[in-house]
Amino acid sequence: MNVKLIGFLPNPEKMPAMAAKLTHSKIKPEDLDKSSDKELKAILEHVMNQGHTSVIEHTCFTFAISDVSRSLTHQLVRHRIASYAQQSQRYVDFKEPNYVIPPKIAKNKQMKEAYEKTMNTIWEQYNKLLEMGIPAQDSRFVLPNAACTNVIVTMNARSLLNFFELRCCMHAQWEIRQLANKMLKEVTKVAPIIFKNAGPMCKSKGICPENKEDCPLYPK
Protein backbone atom coordinates (compact mmCIF):
# COMPACT_ATOMS: atom_id res chain seq x y z
CA MET A 1 0.00 0.00 0.00
CA ASN A 2 1.25 3.46 -0.92
CA VAL A 3 -0.37 6.63 0.42
CA LYS A 4 0.75 10.14 -0.53
CA LEU A 5 -0.80 13.52 0.21
CA ILE A 6 -0.74 15.24 -3.18
CA GLY A 7 -3.05 18.23 -2.76
CA PHE A 8 -3.94 20.82 -0.12
CA LEU A 9 -4.03 24.59 0.37
CA PRO A 10 -0.63 26.33 0.77
CA ASN A 11 -1.61 27.06 4.37
CA PRO A 12 -4.32 24.48 5.07
CA GLU A 13 -5.18 25.80 8.53
CA LYS A 14 -5.51 29.47 7.60
CA MET A 15 -8.89 29.29 5.84
CA PRO A 16 -10.63 27.46 8.72
CA ALA A 17 -9.18 29.97 11.17
CA MET A 18 -10.44 32.87 9.07
CA ALA A 19 -13.88 31.26 8.91
CA ALA A 20 -13.88 30.88 12.69
CA LYS A 21 -12.88 34.52 13.19
CA LEU A 22 -15.62 35.69 10.82
CA THR A 23 -18.36 34.24 13.03
CA HIS A 24 -17.38 36.53 15.93
CA SER A 25 -16.13 39.61 14.09
CA LYS A 26 -17.42 42.72 12.34
CA ILE A 27 -14.58 42.43 9.84
CA LYS A 28 -15.67 41.78 6.26
CA PRO A 29 -14.67 38.39 4.86
CA GLU A 30 -12.37 39.92 2.27
CA ASP A 31 -10.33 41.59 5.01
CA LEU A 32 -9.82 38.54 7.18
CA ASP A 33 -6.56 37.58 5.49
CA LYS A 34 -4.97 40.66 7.07
CA SER A 35 -5.07 38.93 10.45
CA SER A 36 -1.74 37.79 11.86
CA ASP A 37 -0.76 34.12 11.70
CA LYS A 38 -0.38 34.11 15.49
CA GLU A 39 -3.94 35.35 16.01
CA LEU A 40 -5.40 32.88 13.50
CA LYS A 41 -3.52 29.99 15.06
CA ALA A 42 -4.89 30.87 18.50
CA ILE A 43 -8.44 31.11 17.13
CA LEU A 44 -8.19 27.73 15.41
CA GLU A 45 -6.77 26.06 18.52
CA HIS A 46 -9.66 27.51 20.55
CA VAL A 47 -12.44 26.31 18.25
CA MET A 48 -10.87 22.86 17.90
CA ASN A 49 -10.66 22.55 21.69
CA GLN A 50 -14.33 23.55 21.88
CA GLY A 51 -15.28 20.93 19.31
CA HIS A 52 -16.58 23.50 16.80
CA THR A 53 -15.41 21.63 13.73
CA SER A 54 -17.74 23.02 11.04
CA VAL A 55 -15.13 25.65 10.08
CA ILE A 56 -12.58 23.01 9.08
CA GLU A 57 -14.81 22.00 6.18
CA HIS A 58 -13.17 24.96 4.44
CA THR A 59 -9.95 23.01 3.89
CA CYS A 60 -9.53 19.82 1.86
CA PHE A 61 -6.85 17.20 1.34
CA THR A 62 -6.23 14.97 -1.68
CA PHE A 63 -4.51 11.59 -1.42
CA ALA A 64 -2.98 9.29 -4.02
CA ILE A 65 -3.56 5.71 -2.88
CA SER A 66 -2.16 2.72 -4.76
CA ASP A 67 -1.91 -1.06 -4.45
CA VAL A 68 -4.94 -1.51 -2.23
CA SER A 69 -7.65 -4.11 -2.69
CA ARG A 70 -11.09 -3.63 -4.16
CA SER A 71 -12.32 -4.88 -0.81
CA LEU A 72 -10.82 -1.77 0.79
CA THR A 73 -12.28 0.67 -1.74
CA HIS A 74 -15.75 -0.85 -1.28
CA GLN A 75 -15.45 0.21 2.37
CA LEU A 76 -13.85 3.55 1.56
CA VAL A 77 -16.66 4.83 -0.66
CA ARG A 78 -19.14 4.43 2.21
CA HIS A 79 -17.68 7.71 3.45
CA ARG A 80 -19.96 9.83 1.31
CA ILE A 81 -18.64 13.34 1.94
CA ALA A 82 -15.64 12.83 -0.29
CA SER A 83 -14.62 12.73 -3.94
CA TYR A 84 -13.22 9.61 -5.57
CA ALA A 85 -11.51 8.69 -8.83
CA GLN A 86 -10.73 4.98 -9.15
CA GLN A 87 -8.78 2.93 -11.66
CA SER A 88 -11.25 1.36 -14.07
CA GLN A 89 -11.43 -2.38 -14.66
CA ARG A 90 -13.22 -1.62 -17.94
CA TYR A 91 -10.41 0.36 -19.57
CA VAL A 92 -7.18 -0.78 -17.87
CA ASP A 93 -5.31 -3.97 -18.81
CA PHE A 94 -5.36 -6.40 -15.86
CA LYS A 95 -3.87 -9.41 -17.66
CA GLU A 96 -1.09 -9.80 -15.08
CA PRO A 97 -2.08 -11.04 -11.60
CA ASN A 98 -1.95 -8.25 -9.04
CA TYR A 99 -3.63 -8.77 -5.71
CA VAL A 100 -3.43 -8.19 -1.95
CA ILE A 101 -2.61 -11.07 0.40
CA PRO A 102 -4.13 -10.70 3.91
CA PRO A 103 -1.43 -10.92 6.63
CA LYS A 104 -2.96 -13.96 8.35
CA ILE A 105 -2.81 -15.86 5.06
CA ALA A 106 0.69 -14.62 4.22
CA LYS A 107 2.03 -15.94 7.56
CA ASN A 108 0.86 -19.51 6.85
CA LYS A 109 2.83 -21.25 4.10
CA GLN A 110 0.11 -23.76 3.23
CA MET A 111 -2.62 -21.11 3.21
CA LYS A 112 -0.49 -18.77 1.14
CA GLU A 113 0.19 -21.42 -1.49
CA ALA A 114 -3.52 -22.28 -1.76
CA TYR A 115 -4.43 -18.59 -1.94
CA GLU A 116 -1.91 -17.84 -4.68
CA LYS A 117 -3.02 -20.90 -6.64
CA THR A 118 -6.61 -19.66 -6.49
CA MET A 119 -5.57 -16.20 -7.65
CA ASN A 120 -3.56 -17.57 -10.56
CA THR A 121 -6.53 -19.72 -11.62
CA ILE A 122 -8.80 -16.67 -11.53
CA TRP A 123 -6.45 -14.67 -13.74
CA GLU A 124 -6.08 -17.56 -16.16
CA GLN A 125 -9.85 -17.66 -16.60
CA TYR A 126 -9.99 -13.87 -16.87
CA ASN A 127 -7.46 -13.93 -19.70
CA LYS A 128 -9.28 -16.80 -21.43
CA LEU A 129 -12.47 -14.74 -21.45
CA LEU A 130 -10.59 -11.80 -22.99
CA GLU A 131 -9.06 -14.11 -25.63
CA MET A 132 -12.56 -15.36 -26.47
CA GLY A 133 -13.58 -11.81 -27.26
CA ILE A 134 -15.51 -11.14 -24.07
CA PRO A 135 -15.31 -7.39 -23.30
CA ALA A 136 -13.18 -6.40 -20.32
CA GLN A 137 -16.26 -4.92 -18.66
CA ASP A 138 -17.76 -8.42 -18.59
CA SER A 139 -14.57 -10.44 -18.09
CA ARG A 140 -13.82 -8.45 -14.93
CA PHE A 141 -16.78 -10.12 -13.19
CA VAL A 142 -14.50 -13.03 -12.29
CA LEU A 143 -11.83 -10.83 -10.67
CA PRO A 144 -11.68 -11.06 -6.86
CA ASN A 145 -12.06 -8.50 -4.09
CA ALA A 146 -8.32 -8.98 -3.58
CA ALA A 147 -7.53 -7.41 -6.98
CA CYS A 148 -5.30 -4.35 -6.60
CA THR A 149 -6.59 -0.94 -7.53
CA ASN A 150 -5.52 2.70 -7.36
CA VAL A 151 -7.63 5.64 -6.24
CA ILE A 152 -7.45 9.39 -5.68
CA VAL A 153 -9.46 10.62 -2.70
CA THR A 154 -10.33 14.16 -1.61
CA MET A 155 -11.93 14.88 1.76
CA ASN A 156 -12.47 18.01 3.79
CA ALA A 157 -10.87 18.07 7.23
CA ARG A 158 -14.12 17.50 9.13
CA SER A 159 -14.90 14.38 7.11
CA LEU A 160 -11.36 13.18 7.72
CA LEU A 161 -11.81 13.50 11.49
CA ASN A 162 -14.89 11.29 11.25
CA PHE A 163 -13.06 8.87 8.95
CA PHE A 164 -10.18 8.58 11.43
CA GLU A 165 -12.53 8.00 14.37
CA LEU A 166 -14.11 5.06 12.59
CA ARG A 167 -11.22 3.57 10.64
CA CYS A 168 -8.23 4.06 12.98
CA CYS A 169 -10.13 2.01 15.55
CA MET A 170 -8.51 -1.31 16.45
CA HIS A 171 -11.77 -3.02 15.51
CA ALA A 172 -11.80 -1.65 11.95
CA GLN A 173 -10.81 -4.07 9.18
CA TRP A 174 -7.01 -4.34 9.02
CA GLU A 175 -6.43 -2.92 5.53
CA ILE A 176 -8.57 0.19 5.85
CA ARG A 177 -7.16 0.76 9.34
CA GLN A 178 -3.68 0.73 7.84
CA LEU A 179 -4.82 3.20 5.19
CA ALA A 180 -6.41 5.52 7.77
CA ASN A 181 -3.27 5.59 9.90
CA LYS A 182 -1.11 6.41 6.88
CA MET A 183 -3.49 9.21 5.83
CA LEU A 184 -3.52 10.60 9.37
CA LYS A 185 0.27 10.64 9.45
CA GLU A 186 0.33 12.61 6.19
CA VAL A 187 -2.17 15.32 7.16
CA THR A 188 -0.74 15.80 10.66
CA LYS A 189 2.48 17.02 9.04
CA VAL A 190 0.73 19.94 7.31
CA ALA A 191 -2.20 20.64 9.66
CA PRO A 192 -1.04 19.80 13.20
CA ILE A 193 -3.66 21.91 15.00
CA ILE A 194 -6.63 20.39 13.19
CA PHE A 195 -5.41 16.81 13.58
CA LYS A 196 -3.79 17.10 17.01
CA ASN A 197 -6.33 14.79 18.66
CA ALA A 198 -7.39 12.90 15.54
CA GLY A 199 -7.61 9.14 15.61
CA PRO A 200 -9.94 6.48 16.98
CA MET A 201 -12.77 7.71 19.19
CA CYS A 202 -10.94 6.55 22.32
CA LYS A 203 -8.32 9.19 21.52
CA SER A 204 -10.48 11.96 20.05
CA LYS A 205 -13.35 11.74 22.56
CA GLY A 206 -12.11 9.45 25.32
CA ILE A 207 -14.87 6.88 24.75
CA CYS A 208 -15.07 3.42 23.20
CA PRO A 209 -18.24 2.98 21.09
CA GLU A 210 -17.43 -0.74 20.84
CA ASN A 211 -17.12 -0.98 24.65
CA LYS A 212 -14.25 -3.43 24.25
CA GLU A 213 -12.36 -3.28 27.54
CA ASP A 214 -9.81 -5.82 26.30
CA CYS A 215 -8.64 -3.40 23.59
CA PRO A 216 -5.12 -2.03 24.29
CA LEU A 217 -6.38 1.47 23.49
CA TYR A 218 -9.44 1.26 25.78
CA PRO A 219 -9.72 4.53 27.79
CA LYS A 220 -8.59 4.00 31.38
Interval 106-115: pLDDT, tens: 999 999 999 9
Domains and CATH numbers, the chain: 2-84+148-204 (3.30.1360.170), 94-142 (no CATH)
Q: Residue 61 pLDDT more than 90?
A: yes
Beta-carbon contacts of residue 90 (< 8 Å; ≥ 6 apart): 136, 137, 140
pTM: 0.92
**CA neighbours closer than 13 Å in the CB half-sphere of residue 22:** 15
Task: Cite the active site residues.
Answer: 167
Q: Residue 63 pLDDT more than 90?
A: yes
153-201 residue pLDDT tens? 999 999 999 999 999 999 999 999 999 999 999 999 999 999 999 999 9
Q: Residue 104 pLDDT more than 80?
A: yes
pLDDT in the model for residue 156: 98
Collapsing DSSP to helix, strand or coil, 11 comes out as coil
Sequence-separated contacts (24+) of 38-45 with Cβ below 8 Å? 40/13, 40/14, 41/13, 41/17, 41/193, 43/17, 44/13, 44/16, 44/17, 44/20, 44/193, 44/194, 45/193
Q: Of 53, 130, 136, 67, nearest to 99 (Cα)?
A: 67
Query: Mean pLDDT over residues 36-64, rounded?
Result: 94
Contact between 43 and 18 under an 8 Å Cβ cutoff? The reply is: no
